[in-house]
Amino acid sequence: MSRNQALFERAQLTIPGGVNSPVRAFRSVGGTPRFIERAQGPYFWDADDQRYIDYIGSWGPMILGHVHPEVLEAVQRVLGNGFSFGAPTEAEVEIAETICRLMPSIEQVRMVSSGTEATMSALRLARGFTARSRIVKFEGCYHGHADSLLVKAGSGLLTFGNPTSAGVPADIAKHTTVLEYNNIAALEEAFKAFGNEIASVIVEPVAGNMNLVRATPEFLAALRSLCSEYGAVLIFDEVMCGFRVALGGAQQVYGITPDLTCLGKVIGGGMPAAAFGGRRDIMAHLAPLGGVYQAGTLSGNPIAMAAGLKTLELIQAPGFYERLTTQTTRLVHGLVAAAREAKVPFAADSLGGMFGLYFTGKVPESFADVTKSDIARFNAFFHKMLDAGVYFAPSAYEAGFVSSTHDDAVIDATVAAAQRAFAALAA
Ligand code: HOZ
């Protein structure tokens, strides 16, 4: 038995499903999850010492590749000073100043420890600010696992949202309305029906949790103008796409200014750190200034701040995003060409260092489009690539991530493996 298998069997005795986050269990692709022992640059190695080219990068944070020497040095420099104080530090001020400078829609920011905390807190703040309860989200956008966000659409616009997880009370789900992503008509209809009740609309401007799906510019523009017209708080969940699709996030790419933004992943450089921030008049409603309560023992943790600050410094290097975009484009173009050669229906898309692979003929615009993917083919492709030492996300519903260490040789090796995988799928 391999060490991966032995560890998975052992893990299942004491950890539900053997993993600390469900997608890691490989349930949708089948097979044995790889237990990772170490990583370097674009690679990681599992418990059987197999090397993989890593295209999840911890689901986004590792934009500089694993164990970047300058980030390592920055972390090592502060380790001896203490791991956590539960009191403010200068690094928290520095990271707040950096985030506000890089994303000008953010006038003030509060650090938290995870993306779930960021979105949950931003929504409470929006509700406190507007004194309204209803929130609107979009099908296929994932904003963490807070109760009010694990909701799917009811049978019609005016019916209540339904919980997607056991344990979420219907009484909470009923305050969430779920609409189709990129559907402007549905959005207009919803605002017409109950616009004055909407506290907030939360959206991933580039969705990364139903595979990669871009919002259309028209959809985001409609969202912005309807929220302004009806006094609803527009929240961009940029936990995945922030500092990934461009230095200024999706809001820079689209030129749309949200009221609040949620961040995570890259801002912690691989350590647990996330944030929410935006308009000063809204942020003033947060405790200790205002009546909306939010707190956290590990918020602004000094080790996480050191990793995050150094990461945010390095991604500002001239040409960083141009190179990242070039490498990611090289990957998706190579994969599309390989699939075409083998006559496998396949499409791919990318923005900055984030990409999506779809086993359908076209790039999707909604969750319904994504569900048309040939999942059996994706799973077969995933395993062939894994066997060839390439680790894509173990689900057809996840985006992929490229780091600055994925150079031409790494990308070309991936494409060569994909040529063989597609050829075998077509056979
Ligand atoms: N929520 C992540 C996928 N969109 C997975 C997180 C993890 O397993 O680390």
* Final residue of a structural domain among 314, 332, 350: 314
Nearest atom of ligand 1 to the alpha carbon of 58: 9
- For ligand 1, the distance from its centroid to the CA atom of residue 332, given in whole angstroms, is 22
Do 155 and 263 have their domain in common? yes
Do 38 and 165 have their domain in common? no
Determine the Cα–Cα distance for residues 311 and 334; give it in Å rounded to an integer: 28
Residue 378: how many other CB atoms lie within 10 Å: 23
Do 225 and 308 have their domain in common? yes
- For ligand 1, the distance from its centroid to the CA atom of residue 21, given in whole angstroms, is 6
Cα Dmax for the chain: 65
Please state, rounded to an integer, the average pLDDT across all residues of the chain: 96
Do 290 and 210 have their domain in common? yes
- In whole angstroms, how far apart are CA 424 and each of 333, 379, 386, 417, 419? 19, 13, 14, 11, 9
pLDDT at 42 over 90: yes
Do 225 and 243 have their domain in common? yes
Do 34 and 80 have their domain in common? no
Any idea what the CATH number is for the domain that residue 339 is in? 3.90.1150.10
- For residue 188, which phi and psi values (nearest 5 degrees)? -65, -40
Do 125 and 250 have their domain in common? yes
Q: How many domains is the chain built from?
A: 2
| Predicted pLDDT at 160 | 77
Say if residues 109 and 93 touch (Cβ distance below 8 Å).
Answer: no
H or E element: which one contains 410? helix 408-426
Substitution candidate for ligand 1 out of 34, 44, 59, 204 with most atoms within 8 A of CB: 59
Percent of the chain with pLDDT over 70: 100
How far is Cα of residue 49 from the mean position of the Cα atoms in its chain? Answer: 28
Taking only the tens place, the pLDDT of each residue in 207-249 is 999 999 999 999 999 999 999 999 999 999 999 999 999 999 9
Nearest atom of ligand 1 to the alpha carbon of 21: 8
Do 104 and 172 have their domain in common? yes
pLDDT at 119 over 80: yes
Do 86 and 154 have their domain in common? yes
Taking only the tens place, the pLDDT of each residue in 332-382 is 999 999 999 999 999 999 999 999 999 998 999 999 999 999 999 999 999
Do 111 and 208 have their domain in common? yes
Nearest CA, atom 8, ligand 1:
21
| Predicted pLDDT at 51 | 98
Query: pTM of this prediction?
Result: 0.97
* Final residue of a structural domain among 314, 339, 356: 314
pLDDT at 156 over 80: no
How big is the CA angle at 412 (ends 406 and 416), to the nearest 5 degrees?
135
Determine the Cα–Cα distance for residues 101 and 228; give it in Å rounded to an integer: 24
pLDDT band at residue 154 using 50, 70 and 90 as cut-offs: confident
Taking only the tens place, the pLDDT of each residue in 172-216 is 999 999 999 999 999 999 999 999 999 999 999 999 999 999 999
Nearest atom of ligand 1 to the alpha carbon of 398: 4
H or E element: which one contains 199? strand 198-203
Substitution candidate for ligand 1 out of 19, 23, 204 with most atoms within 8 A of CB: 23
Do 92 and 120 have their domain in common? yes
| Predicted pLDDT at 153 | 81
| Predicted pLDDT at 370 | 93
Domain containing 409: what range? Answer: 3-63+318-426
Do 268 and 376 have their domain in common? no
Nearest atom of ligand 1 to the alpha carbon of 23: 8
Determine the Cα–Cα distance for residues 397 and 27; give it in Å rounded to an integer: 13
- For ligand 1, the distance from its centroid to the CA atom of residue 23, given in whole angstroms, is 6
Any idea what the CATH number is for the domain that residue 167 is in? 3.40.640.10
Beta bridge partners of 397: none
Active site residues per annotation: 142, 237, 265
Nearest CA, atom 7, ligand 1:
21
pLDDT band at residue 158 using 50, 70 and 90 as cut-offs: low
Nearest atom of ligand 1 to the alpha carbon of 395: 3
| Predicted pLDDT at 159 | 73
Nearest CA, atom 9, ligand 1:
21
Determine the Cα–Cα distance for residues 285 and 207; give it in Å rounded to an integer: 28
Ligand 1 pocket at CB < 6 A: 21, 23-24, 59, 209, 398
* Final residue of a structural domain among 314, 348, 368: 314
| Predicted pLDDT at 362 | 92
- For ligand 1, the distance from its centroid to the CA atom of residue 212, given in whole angstroms, is 14
Percent of the chain with pLDDT over 90: 96
Taking only the tens place, the pLDDT of each residue in 43-59 is 999 999 999 999 999 99
- For ligand 1, the distance from its centroid to the CA atom of residue 393, given in whole angstroms, is 9
Which tokens hold the place of 17?
């499903």
